[in-house]
């Protein structure tokens, strides 16, 4: 079963500027799916459409086997997401930020301590989010995305701006969520070397078209076996 599936997804900002062309994502339930492609290839637009942040123009979106259009509210209650820049209240500390979103999501207050611990922010105390490093802000944004105990986590370039230690910590957090909590994860990135250490499946998009989709083993099997060369070959044709 696919946790998220799109069929014939197309999008354009003007008649002569197609952004997505017939994109058919298939994210298996229980997988960590890497959505790969150069900057500007259409990754963020696809994710925004899947979350209802952009109005769908053409195609179908199914999440948890249901039409997103017909079951939007119920589906969104089971999804956590981080798209582009984290939206945080700089004058509030980590716990206060989470408390705002906990009330909005109407989830258990007990989730706050759980996600603080999971993301390594339990000891930040009264430090304001505006004083956080970029890595800490990213972790707080992930904590917010995890508040409602999602079944599907959608993350757009979550390691952007992180130092090597932060990237490793993020990778281990996502692996733990997938293996121990059963969370399906869809993560976009243009960093092949990092994403290859994390994901089980991948889709590669180039100029709005999906040019590969399958397991990481299948991606490794293309071309000469060099993953970097394969990625370059797929995205620069």
3-state secondary structure 182-218: CCEEEEEECCHHHHCCCCCEEEEEECCEEEEEEEHHH
> By percentage, how much of the chain surpasses pLDDT 70?
98
Highest mean pLDDT among 8-22, 31-45, 164-178, 211-225: 31-45
Please check whether residues 177 and 65 belong to one and the same domain.
yes
For residue 134, what pLDDT band results from cuts at 50, 70 and 90?
A: confident
Is residue 196 one of the residues assigned to a domain? yes
74 and 101 co-located in one domain: no
* Residue pointed to by tokens 């976009």: 188
- What mean pLDDT comes out for the span 129-157? 90
Do residues 212 and 219 make contact, with C-beta atoms less than 8 angstroms apart? yes
Instruction: Identify whether 85 is part of a domain.
Output: no
Three-state secondary-structure class, residue 151: coil
Largest CA distance in the chain: 53
Is 84 domain-assigned?
no
- Rounded to two decimals, what is the model's pTM? 0.92
Please count the structural domains in the chain.
2
Whether residues 94 and 180 share a domain: the answer is no
Residues 24 and 66 in one domain: yes
Give yes or no: residues 143 and 156 share one domain: no
Of 149, 169, 184, the last residue of a domain is: 149
Within a domain: residue 83? no
The model's pLDDT over 79-90, given as tens digits with 9 standing for 90+, comes to: 999 997 778 989
CA distance linking residue 190 with residue 93, whole number of Å:
31
- Residue 68 and residue 162 in one domain: yes
Q: What is the mean pLDDT of the chain?
A: 90
Flag whether pLDDT at 69 surpasses 90: yes
Convert the pLDDT of each residue in 1-48 to its tens digit: 899 999 999 999 877 788 999 999 999 999 999 999 988 899 999 999
Same domain (yes/no): 108, 126 = yes
Strands 152-156 and 184-189, sheet pairing: parallel
φ, ψ dihedrals at 40, nearest 5°: 85, 5
HSE (side-chain half, CA atoms, 13 Å) at 99: 5
- Kindly provide the b/e burial profile for residues 188-219, where b requires at least 16 CB atoms within 10 angstroms of the residue's own CB: bbbebebbbebbebbbbbbbbebbbbeebeeb
Note whether 96 and 165 are same-domain residues.
no
| Ranges assigned E (strand) in the chain | 2-14, 17-23, 26-28, 32-36, 58-63, 66-67, 79-82, 152-156, 184-189, 201-206, 209-215
Q: Which is more confidently placed, 104 or 67? A: 67
- Residue-range definition of the domain harbouring residue 125: 90-149
């Amino acid at each position: 079963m696919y946790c998220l599936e799109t069929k014939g997804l197309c999008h354009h900002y003007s008649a002569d500027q197609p952004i997505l062309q017939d994109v058919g994502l298939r994210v298996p339930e229980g997988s960590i799916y890497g959505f790969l492609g150069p900057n500007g290839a259409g990754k963020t637009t696809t994710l925004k459409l899947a979350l209802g942040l952009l109005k769908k123009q053409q195609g179908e979106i199914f999440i948890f086997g249901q039409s997103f259009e017909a079951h939007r509210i119920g589906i969104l209650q089971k999804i956590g997401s981080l798209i582009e820049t984290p939206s945080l209240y700089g004058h509030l500390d980590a716990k206060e930020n989470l408390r705002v979103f906990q009330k909005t999501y109407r989830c258990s207050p007990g989730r706050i301590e759980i996600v603080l611990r999971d993301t390594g922010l339990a000891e930040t105390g009264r430090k304001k989010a505006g004083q956080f490093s970029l890595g800490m802000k990213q972790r707080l944004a992930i904590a917010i995305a995890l508040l409602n105990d999602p079944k599907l986590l959608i993350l757009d370039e979550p390691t952007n701006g992180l130092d090597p230690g932060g990237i490793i910590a993020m990778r281990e957090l996502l692996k733990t969520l997938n293996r121990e909590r059963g969370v399906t994860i869809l993560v976009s990135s243009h960093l092949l070397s990092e994403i290859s250490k994390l994901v089980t499946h991948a889709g590669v998009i180039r100029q709005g078209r999906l040019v590969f989709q399958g397991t990481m083993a299948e991606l490794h099997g293309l071309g000469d076996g060099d993953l970097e060369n394969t990625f370059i070959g797929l995205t620069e044709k």
